[in-house]
Amino acid sequence: MRLAYRRAGLAEPERIVWAGSPRAALRLLREAPDGPCGPAARGRSVREAVRSAPWAAERGRLNELLGARGWGRRWAVTGARLWETTERLADRIRAGLVEEAAGGPADEAEVRLLLLDAVLGQHDAAWLCAFGTEPGSPLEGLAAVARSAGWWWPYERLAVVCERPVELHRDEAGRLDRGDGPALAYGDGFALHAWRGMPVPAAFPAELRALTPERIRTEENAELRRVMLEFYGYDRYLRESRAKPVHRDDTGVLWRIPLPDDEDVAMVEVVNSTPEPDGTSRTYWLRVPPDTRTARQGVAWTFGLEADAYAPLRET
């Protein structure tokens, strides 16, 4: 961290204060103006000099060295592979921090302004990997922090730096996802709960384990109800709610789940034409558009076809 200041041509911070999470860091920075981490003690933000300016200079250097096309290829095989999911994670952390400061518009505005001063530490690795961070590089200090710390706030006389998360759970698409606890957790208790990328209340994962069709039906929040259905399983919900099929033909069975204040869920039940080694046939459930009227129309839709164009010569 001190190296990052020196590489930016700045004096090292007089103090480095560790916090358990970004939430704890914000609490330190929002304390009384004359407190040990308040505005008077820390001085102005030097994020522009420490992070933004070196990044812009190094990107400009590489763009000039490699050309626009060469830089594009370099980014594609380095930072681009991580950037989208990392940016989404950082945005979710910011949103969670703003939500926790729900004391009113003034509190929210203050937190948003302080978040603009943050350097993302380990979450900057997604773009740092595209640049040279070897000894002597302008980005050497930033890379060193990214390897050992979380978010940090650089000011003239003070730097506040966070520990990294102790838990991170994501699905195959890189979204925060966990059904039995926090999807992101820090050692001091700050946590985010999510199911397939959608934020959910902290108590929600525990409730998922005790779901019933009736509880799902009575959930007023449409987004949470969809999460409940995904976790519970559409096929299980159909069986246990005694749903009735709305259409049947040689391709399968169309089922529909009416949901209050939301679009219906339509599913086609199909049976694999090729038996399993034990002689049984596996059943699959295909999610189809809510306006589907026949099983054939639904199955055809999964192949990008209209119902009258779906006529397979052989099924496997």
Q: What are phi and psi of 192, to 5 degrees?
A: -125, 135
The single residue listed with the structure tokens 């302004």 is 113
Query: Are residues 306 and 296 in contact, defined by beta-carbon separation less than 8 angstroms?
Result: no
Query: Are residues 198 and 227 in contact, defined by beta-carbon separation less than 8 angstroms?
Result: yes
Q: What is the pLDDT of residues 237-286, one digit of tens each?
A: 888 887 889 999 999 999 998 887 888 888 999 988 776 677 677 888 89
CA-closest candidate to residue 52, choices 116, 132, 145, 144 = 116
Average predicted confidence (pLDDT) for the chain: 90
Kindly give, in sequence order, each residue whose CB lies less than 8 Å from that of residue 85, ignoring residues fewer than 6 positions away: 170, 173, 174, 175
Q: What is the pLDDT of residues 153-162, one digit of tens each?
A: 999 999 999 9
Pairwise CA distance, residues 87 & 123, whole Å = 8
Q: What pLDDT is recorded for position 179?
A: 84
Pairwise CA distance, residues 142 & 259, whole Å = 50
- Provide the residue ranges of all domains of the chain, joining segments of one domain with +: 2-164, 213-309
Q: What is the pLDDT of residues 97-125, one digit of tens each?
A: 999 876 667 788 999 999 999 999 999 99
Average pLDDT over residues 88-95: 96
Q: What is the pTM of this model?
A: 0.77
Average pLDDT over residues 13-36: 93
DSSP string, 38-84: SHHHH-SB-HIIIIIHHHHHHHHHHHHHHHHHHHHHHHHHTTHHHHH
- In b/e form, how buried is each residue of 80-107, taking b as 16+ CB within 10 angstroms? eebeeebebbbebbbebbbeebeeeeee
- In b/e form, how buried is each residue of 167-181, taking b as 16+ CB within 10 angstroms? eebbeeeebbbbbee
Pairwise CA distance, residues 62 & 69, whole Å = 11
Beta bridge partners of 247: 254
Pairwise CA distance, residues 97 & 91, whole Å = 10
Pinpoint the alpha helices (H) of the chain.
2-7, 22-29, 39-42, 47, 53-77, 80-100, 105-116, 125-128, 140-148, 204-208, 213-218, 222-232, 234-240, 295-302
